[in-house]
Amino acid sequence: MDYHSPASFAEASALAANATGITRFLAGGTDVLVQLRSDLVTPDTLIDIKKINGVSDITRNADGSWSLGVAVTGAEMSEHPELGRDWPGVVEAMDLIGSTQVQGRATLTGNLCNGSPAADSVPAMVAAGVTVTVTGQDGTREVAVEDIPTGPGKTSLAKGEVVSAINIPARGNNGGDAYLRFIPRTEMDIAVVGVGVSLRLNGDTVTEARVSLGAVAPTVLLVEDCAQAVIGTTLDDAALDALGAAASAACNPIDDKRGTIAFRTEVAGVLAKRAAKIAYARAKGEDV
């Protein structure tokens, strides 16, 4: 295994483009090292992106949007005084992953590029409308988070492409987001179902909505029917029921020891309703 620590994303991209065999990028390493040590994936080329300038920066831009470096850890996100006020759902979703030790290393970028359908931060990022900047041999492109995963362990990134920044939109006024997951214990587990919701209100009425489901399909889903179920409503009981039904209808889960198809489908509806209520309260300025 060749280890590289390039000084720029252009160099990282060139290294990956010219590499033969299996290539992995190393951010926090909490998935890459596990796969390496258990002989699941033994990269021929390992490209550590943490020596690139700015990869640990959390920046609030002039328009209120956020730029996060690709090596920003969960712990750094949770400790940031402002980020969690704008996007509590995104920060809480990341914070649910693993232990204190894992939080010291794990990154949004790694959680996304690992391609797990159960990745906690990904539904929250999809709901928030997060995009990533992808650097390749022909320059950079901006890609919506929901367009990165293509199946378990698979992404749409081409050979030589590397995620070089996380772009979180401006929260703006009267908006709120939330992420909830079901696990059979209180900590240190993988989502059986995860739901991310982001709403914007005009008075009491929902004007914008994005709802995302995790662990109930081969990829994290952005569910337009869920958004339509609540837009134009005051999130009354009828809207919540329609939201829950739309979430359950969108599920295409696996049946495994952590949750049956019937269970995951039911719970997706329940969590969608609960997450929407939290996002709604946050959009109203309530501290929940």
Partner 1 sequence: MSKLHVSTTVNGDPVEYLCDPRETLLDCLRDKLNLTGAKEGCGTGDCGACSVTVDGRLVCSCLMLGVEAEGKEIETVEGIADGDVLHPLQKKMIEYAALQCGICTPGILVAAKSLLEKNPNPTEEETRYWLAGNLCRCTGYDKIIRAVMDTAAEMREAS
> Can you tell me whether residue 88 is helix, strand or coil?
helix
Instruction: Report the phi/psi class of residue 79: left, alpha or beta, with left for phi > 0 and alpha for psi in -120 to 50.
Output: alpha
Asked if 59 and 67 count as a contact pair (C-beta separation under 8 A), the reply is yes
**What does DSSP assign to residue 173?**
T
| Residue 136 near partner 1 by CB under 8 A | no
Q: Residues 2, 44, 57, 236: which binds partner 1 (CB under 8 A)? A: 2
| Residue 80 near partner 1 by CB under 8 A | no
Q: Please, what is the Cα angle at 141 between 136 and 145, to 5 degrees?
A: 105
- What is the contact mask toward partner 1 in residues 160 to 189, using x (rule: CB under 8 A)? ---------------------------xx-
Instruction: Report the phi/psi class of residue 115: left, alpha or beta, with left for phi > 0 and alpha for psi in -120 to 50.
Output: left
| Residue 288 near partner 1 by CB under 8 A | no
Q: Residues 20, 63, 81, 100: which binds partner 1 (CB under 8 A)? A: 100
CB 2 to partner 1: min, Å = 7
Q: Residues 18, 53, 99, 202: which binds partner 1 (CB under 8 A)? A: 99
Closer by beta carbon to partner 1, 47 or else 283: 47
Distance CA 159, CA 136 (A): 8
Asked if 131 and 145 count as a contact pair (C-beta separation under 8 A), the reply is yes
**203: burial class by Cβ within 10 Å (0-12, 13-18, 19+)?**
exposed
The phi, psi pair for 233, rounded to 5°, reads -105, 170
Q: Residues 8, 58, 80, 105: which binds partner 1 (CB under 8 A)? A: 105
Closer by beta carbon to partner 1, 113 or else 226: 113
Q: Residues 69, 88, 98, 196: which binds partner 1 (CB under 8 A)? A: 98
Closer by beta carbon to partner 1, 53 or else 205: 53
Q: How many CB atoms lie within 10 A of CB 160?
A: 18
CB 38 to partner 1: min, Å = 7
| Residue 102 near partner 1 by CB under 8 A | yes
Distance CA 124, CA 119 (A): 10
Of 104, 126, 285, the closest CA to residue 209 belongs to: 126
Distance CA 27, CA 38 (A): 18
The phi, psi pair for 25, rounded to 5°, reads -95, 145
Stretch that binds partner 1, among 44-52, 121-129, 205-213, 266-274 (CB under 8 A): 44-52
Q: Residues 30, 109, 114, 164: which binds partner 1 (CB under 8 A)? A: 30
Q: Residues 15, 16, 19, 46: which binds partner 1 (CB under 8 A)? A: 46
Stretch that binds partner 1, among 21-29, 82-90, 238-246, 249-257 (CB under 8 A): 21-29
Closer by beta carbon to partner 1, 104 or else 218: 104
CB 170 to partner 1: min, Å = 29
Joined together, the tokens standing for residue 6 give: 């390039």
Q: By CB under 8 A, name the binding residues for partner 1.
A: 1-3, 5, 26, 28-30, 33-34, 36-38, 46, 48, 50, 73, 75, 98-102, 104-105, 187-188
